[in-house]
Amino acid sequence: MTVYVYPRLGRALALARLEEVRRAYTQGIGAVTELALAEHPRAAPVATGGQVPTPDELWRIRSEVMDRVGPWLESGELLRGHAGDFDRTLGAALHELLQIIPADAAHEGPWSFLSIVLLPDILAARFPTMHEDRALGTGRNVLRRVWIREEILADLHHSGDPPLGEDELVGIFERSAVVRNRPLARYLAQAVLAHRDASARSEFARELYKRVRRTTGPLLLDALPDTQVAKLVDAVAGSITQGSP
């Protein structure tokens, strides 16, 4: 059940705080960990509509998140090849522990607070250059991007051998007009995971997304029962596999 709204850090203050985190990182990840805080004097949540976690609750959330992703961060930086597992674990942890109201999660401020104030070491470890678009709470934010993947794909985020790769996920999420049809997003993910040739899967995914997007003009896919959406995706997937135009 989602009940919480989180303190919001405005863009200007987030940029200033980010500079502090970057300076600390020159001393190592430990210095960034020491900067983590459960509150900011100029971060305030939306006025009404949800419960606000106390600083103690925020600190507990931080502790539990760090427990789950800690094994990947022992060296202070995410090792090559581990990003996918890390992101999936982080996404699941955030989704379970934050219990953030989706309307609050739609805003930049809460994610800027969570990334740069409460969990700056995760930001630094996952994206050491700490580019603004990973630190600020917009769509590519280090935490927000994995939370929304967990929110929309749920179990599919953790399925498959191999699971959906970064390119395959970006392909679903980069066109928000498609991903806002959440059943469609899930059927696309399922179709990609079901593709037999794992080595060519990313190429198949790109073609699948492109062809399905083309159908959205004359058709109102959102109004169809899930079973018909699934049939449409399967038909497009089949046509690609058979080499049909």
Query: Which parts of this chain interact with another protein (CB under 8 A)?
Result: 2, 5, 10-13, 15-16, 19, 46-50, 101-108, 132-133, 136, 138-140, 148, 152, 174-177, 179-182, 217-224, 228
Closest approach, Cβ 237 to another protein, in A, equals 17
Of 37 and 148, which has the nearer Cβ to another protein? 148
Q: How far apart are CA 187 and CA 234, in angstroms?
A: 8
Closest approach, Cβ 76 to another protein, in A, equals 25
Of 1 and 196, which has the nearer Cβ to another protein? 1
Query: Which structure tokens are listed for 113?
Result: 């607070």
Which residues, other chains included, contact 201 with Cβ-Cβ below 8 Å and sequence gap of 6+? Answer: 165, 168, 192, 195
Query: Which structure tokens are listed for 161?
Result: 């051998």
Closest approach, Cβ 156 to another protein, in A, equals 16
Phi/psi for 39 (5° steps) reads -155, 160
Closest approach, Cβ 144 to another protein, in A, equals 10
Q: Is 100 helix (H, G, I), strand (E, B) or coil?
A: strand
Query: Which structure tokens are listed for 230?
Result: 């699934």
Answer yes or no: are the C-beta atoms of 2 and 99 closer than 8 Å.
yes
Closest approach, Cβ 236 to another protein, in A, equals 12
Of 81 and 223, which has the nearer Cβ to another protein? 223
- Which letter does DSSP use for residue 131 in this model? -
Of 107 and 211, which has the nearer Cβ to another protein? 107
Of 34 and 174, which has the nearer Cβ to another protein? 174
